[in-house]
Chains A and B, each alone.
Chain A
Amino acid sequence: DIHMTQSPSTLSTSVGDTITITCRASQTINTYLAWYQQKPGKAPKLLISGASNLQYGVPSRFSGSASETEFTLTISSLQPDDFATYYCQQYYSYLPLTFGGGTKVESK
Chain B
Amino acid sequence: QVQLVQSGPEVKTPGASVKISCRASGYTFSNYYIHWFRQAPGQGLEWVGVMNPTDGSTSYGVDFLGRVIMIKDTSTRVVYMELSRLVSEDTAVYYCARGDLTSVTKRSYFEYWGQGTLATVSS
Chain B residue at minimum C-beta to C-beta distance from A99 = B45
By the criterion CB–CB under 8 Å, are B50 and A94 in contact? yes
Q: How far is the CA of A95 from the CA of B106 in the complex (A)?
A: 9
What's the dominant secondary structure at chain A's contact region?
Answer: loop
Task: Tell which of B62, B107, B109, B115 touches A46, judged by Cβ atoms closer than 8 Å.
Answer: B109
* Complexed CA–CA distance, A92 and B97 (Å): 17
Q: Does B54 contact A (CB under 8 A)?
A: no
Within 8 A of A (CB), among B20-67: 35, 44-47, 50, 59, 61-62
B116: nearest chain-A partner, CB-CB? A43
Q: Is the CB of A91 within 8 A of B109?
A: yes
Nearest-CB distance from A48 to chain B (Å)? 9
Residue of B nearest to A85 (CB): B44
- Whether the pair A96, B44 counts as a contact (CB closer than 8 A) is no
Contact pattern, B 89-122, Cβ under 8 Å of A = 1, otherwise 0? 0000001010000000111111101111000000
Is A96 in contact with B47, judged by CB distance below 8 angstroms?
yes
User: B residues within 8 A CB of A95?
Assistant: 59, 61
A44-B44 CB under 8 A given contacts A94-B50, A94-B59: no
Contact B116 A101 (CB under 8 A): no
Q: CA A54 – CA B1 in complex, angstroms?
A: 20
Across the interface, do A44 and B110 meet the contact criterion of CB distance under 8 Å?
yes
- Which of A46, A100, A101 is close to B110, meaning CB atoms less than 8 Å apart? A46
- Contacts A92-B107, A97-B108, A100-B44 known; 13 new A-B pairs at CB < 8 A: A32-B107, A43-B114, A44-B95, A49-B109, A89-B109, A91-B108, A96-B62, A97-B35, A98-B47, A99-B45, A99-B46, A99-B47, A102-B44
Using a CB–CB distance below 8 Å, which chain A residues touch chain B? Answer: 32, 34, 36, 42-44, 46, 49, 55, 87, 89, 91-102
Which 10 pairs across A and B sit closest by C-beta, in order of nearness? A34-B109, A43-B113, A94-B107, A97-B47, A91-B107, A94-B106, A99-B45, A49-B109, A96-B47, A96-B61
